[in-house]
Structure 1
Amino acid sequence: MAIALDKTDHFEDLLTCTICLEVFTGPKYLPCLHTFCKTCINTYILSTVGKEKTKTTFKCPICRQNVLMGESTGNPETWAEKLPGNHFVASLMDRQAIRRSEKICDSCKANNKSKKALSWCIVCEEAFCESCEQCHKTFKMSAKHPLLSLKDIASNRETTIASSLIYCVEHSGEVIKAYCVDHSKPLCTLCATLSHRKCEDVITIEKAASGIKKSPKTMELSSELKETSKQLSDLIKNRKNHLTDFEKEAEAILIKVSIIKDNISKHLNKIETQIKGEIIKSKKEEVLKLSEESSDIENLKNKIDNWIALFDTCLQHGSEQQCLLEIDKINENKVKFGDACIKGISEIKNISMLLKANDIAENFEKRVEVIGVVELVKTHPSCPKLSFGKTVDFHTGKIKVIKVIELTGYSVFVSGLFMKNEFIFTHSHLYKVLKYNHNGSCLAELTLPKKPCDIAQMTDTMAAVSTEGYTLFIVDIQKMTHCRKIDNTYPVHGFCHVNGEFILAYNSTLTWINASTGVKNEQVTTNGDTYFVYGNNRHDYICADGTSVVSRMLNNRKAFIYTKDKPSSSRGIDIDYDGNVYLCEYSTGHIHQLTTDGKLVKIILADSIGIKQPWGIRFKKDSNQFFVTCYQTGKVVVCEIV
């Protein structure tokens, strides 16, 4: 647990654990960058995993973001140990400790002596008195170690962090010494030797960090974060104002009702009786409907329970022939039962009751007969969107080509992903998964036993690849190795990964299978030409629904139906971060841009970006950057909307 510390510094909040509210001990940070004491986060993980019964993830205590530990990280008891240490916070803590107490020479202390320290070695992380400092400078191994004056550190004149060594997250105890520009990743000696020896642009960490504080990249990120913080502050202010306005509206309605009631006091009993009757009648009707809904659902459950009882009894006491007949009876009724369930659930709606006063009631002198009309309002909830970073108008139609990557071939299935600062492509003719850096240079290749068709990201380092036929291959993109395969029994071309499931698209079927076992969870039939699918979750997906129709399904209902002028071949589908939908038509050479509710914005001519037959399209997460693949030539064009 953390230990108490006097709050005298302006960055004190950075050194305080939000779980125990004390200064960190053994600070560990999560992917969302929230930091906690090692002991605190360990206790939290064990408590959370025990309650939620998860084996691979836990949620950040602050922002509730899922932290994926993976299946190979051992028991939850070891997860806190495997989290990366926050060396920046640790260095600030070292500096605090030096500033707030008189430091004793560590070398003298080892010899049972007590002498005031004057300097601090940021490599050895030890304090030295004057004589020990001279000795430290004479040894060949430590002669070039940077030494800081403790007096300067205590007075804030020394800006260098007291413990400036940064250690590798992957290799414990190894110091970061290099930086891979191709992967935007700091490296220790082992990283550089084992994983990045083929990278073209590896430089020293000092060179990579030189001038970083004042670089355009830093200034842009700082501005972007501050702008996003401002947007969130504005949104919070907006919601608070809305809450205040809503409360005022509610109070105003109450006052208005009271005034109207006072103005029509002579007829109050009659009108009150009238409005009560209306309310009671509406309430009775709607309560009856809601009761009928509940009864219908209970009847469905009773039917299932009856089937279970009959089936279990038959299994225990019936003959083999009786079991066969019961199975046939149940299977015969399953489809109707499923349709009844879907129909019943889709018709469920929440009902609210509002009072809408009419203007006659406010002028009682003109003989008021009714106080108002009670309306039942049925609505679907909606939430405002927040754009992170630069605001881009995706409807301008202005597209800038950034890079062209030549993947040669003819009539070739090329799909791909943005993963960090790399491009991952599948190439059907080469039977390969290809990894390219941001400059368009090939970094690695992985050969598959079957022709790849599509690829879907699962985690930061893992992806799944569909191949001709049925097999899905799980690939470690970082190491470019096979991890495992799923011998799926359902045909697949394009597919996507959502919440532990794969949605498989093929011709006129969509099939949901478990991403670990390959077991089918659900299957639906489309009107054909369904070769790719985009999914937000299990009940929100977009796909071709015939040769000239694209549909978005939401909770088993069509949220929109987009119909093209004439039949064409729809293939790649993706969505930008503003919610606009993009459809590739390889037969016409068009890319259709739709609004989130399926209205056509514009048709982008693929020729304008150098593509003959657009096959696949993929947007980079939270970015205006995307790439389009060409069925005719195999090349990939990386673009951005400006």
Structure 2
Amino acid sequence: MAIAQDKTDNFDDLLTCTICLETFTAPKYLPCLHTFCKTCINTYILSTVDKEKTGTTFKCPICRQDVLMGESPGQTETWSEKLPGNHFVASMMNRQAIRKHEKICDSCKANNETKNALSWCIVCEEAFCKSCEKCHKSFKMTATHPIVLLNDLVTNKETVTMHPLIYCEEHRGEVVKAFCVDHSKPLCSLCATLSHRKCEEVITIEKAAKGIKQSEKSIKLSAELRETSKQLSDLIQNRKRHLTDFEKESEVILANVSTIKATIVEHLNKIEEHIKNEIIKSKKEVVLELSEKSAELESLKSTVDNWIAIYDTGLQHGSELQCLLEIHRIYENKMNCDEAFTKCISEIQDISMILEANDTAKDFTNLVSDLGIVKLVKTKANCPKPSISTNVNFHLGSINVINAIDLIQENSQISGLFMEDVFIFTHRHRCKVLKYDVNGKLISELKLTNGPLDIGQIDDTDVVVSAIHSKLIILNIQNMTQLRSIDVPYVHGCCYVNGEFILANGNTLIWINASSGVKSKQIETNSHTYHVHADNRKQYTFANNSGEVFRVANDKKIFTYTNSTLLNPRGIDTDCKGNVYICGYTSGGIHQLDKEGKLVRIIPTDSIGIKQPWVIRFRKNCNQFFVTCYQTAKVVVCEIV
């Protein structure tokens, strides 16, 4: 390969150690394929093994995967020496050094000297300075080896295969020369002799490597790795969105706490105002009553004091006749005064004011120790998962029937789900939710008050069922028990995404909060809509009774699909590649569309024993699906191969 500079030559990140952040020195790689400088990984091993007491293992500094050093690993100081060298990285380092005119003579380097290399031996695959090249040509064994100038490699004047020798990971110092096809393993001479002598197909390493870059295996691996990278990117974005949503939820809860506190304080202020008004009113009444009684006593005392003054004056200065008359008049009035005095005394009361607090107020700090309990509810995340059907051609693959399940009672609306290793079906006319194993054997059933119409998965254990008479019923499938119900407008199809239920409700789709049942969004669908499929709250697919299929993302229509052979569409779902499938209830057949809404094919359902397809559901990240039949109440489980 020529060392000409192009857009693929800049791979500095690949040649940088993530520990020291410098170009690799003696690169060693771990089973997880992460590569480090020999000295860097040695220092890391010594520090972590001693600190964490991990015995015969240590964790990769990047992915934290355990690296087992075997039953007899020896001293930890020698572990890095036992790790395999990364020959590919070493080759890339040579390539980079040559391109940058920084390649050091390999012979001088072996003698701890540093001289820039000028030439390259194609046979030995080593770089030489001028003097070492001269010595190399002077030996009889290497005199005829072709030598090319490094500068010619850089300027594309020479094209050679350039890589260092690859050494066996099991037998130190032995060069890899063969490849065992039976075990897909590179071999040195010792490996081939000792461990693989009975293998049927052992070929030279050059033969095994020939054409590998353009091979089907290489192309497939590249596609799978890129697909996995994309799925991981999607998952990372999903987790970032969830983090943002979680932070928003926490802010909402903090605001709710403040609102609850303000409501409590406002209510306490009203109670305080009421009790204060009661105190002021009672105080006024009692003060008035006590004042009136005191005034009455003051009046009696004034009368008596006046009599005393008249009597004393008469005794000192009046005649006996005058005294007689005054005493007589006083006695005549004293009886009335005594009666008034006695009456006043009998009516006198001491009045005190107390506050009889109720039990809640008395023990408020103990009875109300908090405003609520903060719970972290962990549920199975609705996020992208790795696809296991990368080898399936969903557009051209044939449909194979795996199993057929008869749910009994014809002409009924049957919906269902794949949940781990069981099927969950709803049967409207029998008013039941049915659990079957993968072999089609009934495990258990749950009788409902209202006939179920559709079913959506919430997490690994819970589902939501739409039922007639405007009900959403939340069920635990493990125990086959009803958890709660939500009253909603008339609804047929339902699904769950990100804490919300999306409901197919006549001519509309409605979004409601899964906890409170409060409606958050509504859109028109132009005609009666039976089912809806959603990837998330902003990306969903539905079909109306007019035969229109809509794919929507971020409130924008991605595509609208119509076909004269699609009559009264019902069930709708997508496979792991994003293809859309719609059941034609009246017309029969399942219309398969690609991501852009273009017709891929119409799958004839009569070929799998379905006359009126009602619902189609795919197993997550798989090529298996089932179709339910309205006319026969049959469920047919299929796969695309």
Q: TM-score range by the shorter chain?
A: 0.3 to 0.5
TM-score using structure 2 length:
0.43
Structure with greater Cα Rg: 2
TM-score using structure 1 length:
0.43
